[in-house]
Amino acid sequence: MAETVLTNPGQSPARLEGWRGIAADWASDQRAFKNVSWGKAMMWIFLLSDTFIFSCFLLSYMTARMSTTVPWPNPSEVFALNIGGNHIPLILIAIMTFVLISSSGTMAMAVNFGYRRDRVRTAILMLVTAAFGATFVGMQAFEWTKLIMEGVRPWGNPWGAPQFGASFFMITGFHGTHVTIGVIFLIAIARKVFRGDFDVERRGFFTSRKGYYEIVEITGLYWHFVDLVWVFIFAFFYLW
């Protein structure tokens, strides 16, 4: 085929591999990410933006922690529990982390069954994920209550730098809000899956767009992101 400037000579029907493939996709028309739907692309870009929010929160907390002139409370001690007479550091946080990471597993299974159009299993696994998430938020609430009873406030605490309480409530609160939104989102989508909305392509109440099983994966993207953020919070806030 003659190379006129008028056509699109860069694109070949055989998809190229690796960097050449990426270059060819970005040089092509219509879509930069081939086989990525609008919804999925939007969620990824939103998560990139959200990453910057959490990064700013964590960097601000680290700045406060490094520049404070009074001692920082020892997280191992602050977050320890007495269980059966044993003093176990960080035990609650360990359980919370385990619960949240397990929820990522059930979420991944839900996505798998979603693409098989197995609506009952998908809905159940999404509800299990939501239950894990709710458990996590519940334990977070328990931890908040415990710390508040011990005298930790956003503006001060009995053990040292006031920024400890401030950063703790702000960061875990913001993350907990994300988990809570995720739980609501999961329950709403699970209901739609169970009702068979995506089998009959029922239109959304607000958007009047047809829904597809892909929304399960998009929900999953958000959920895995929230889990991943928790891993960073765990590492930088509790283990440091």
The residue ranges that bind other proteins (CB under 8 A) are 1-2, 4-8, 10-14, 26-34, 36-39, 41-42, 45-46, 48-50, 52-53, 55-57, 60, 63-64, 67-70, 154-155, 161-163, 165-166, 170, 174, 206-210
DSSP secondary structure letter of residue 92 = H
Query: What spatial distance separates the first Cα and last Cα of the chain, rounded to whole Å?
Result: 62
Q: How far is the CB of 169 from other proteins (least distance, A)?
A: 8
Q: How far is the CB of 166 from other proteins (least distance, A)?
A: 4
User: Which residue's CB is nearer to other proteins, number 53 or number 235?
Assistant: 53
User: Which residue's CB is nearer to other proteins, number 28 or number 180?
Assistant: 28
The structure tokens listed for 82 are 């007495």
User: Are the CB atoms for 190 and 119 separated by under 8 Å?
Assistant: no
Give the list of residues 6+ apart from residue 132 with CB closer than 8 angstroms, or none.
99, 100, 102, 103, 106
User: Which residue's CB is nearer to other proteins, number 26 or number 240?
Assistant: 26
Q: How far is the CB of 65 from other proteins (least distance, A)?
A: 11
Task: Give exposure, 166-199, as e/b (b: 16+ Cβ within 10 Å).
Answer: bbbbebbeebbebbbebbebbbebbebbeeebbe
User: Which residue's CB is nearer to other proteins, number 47 or number 101?
Assistant: 47
CA distance 106 to 31: 32
Q: How far is the CB of 23 from other proteins (least distance, A)?
A: 11
Tokens 């047809």 found at: 210
Sign of CA pseudo-dihedral 147, 151, 152, 158: negative
Q: How far is the CB of 25 from other proteins (least distance, A)?
A: 10
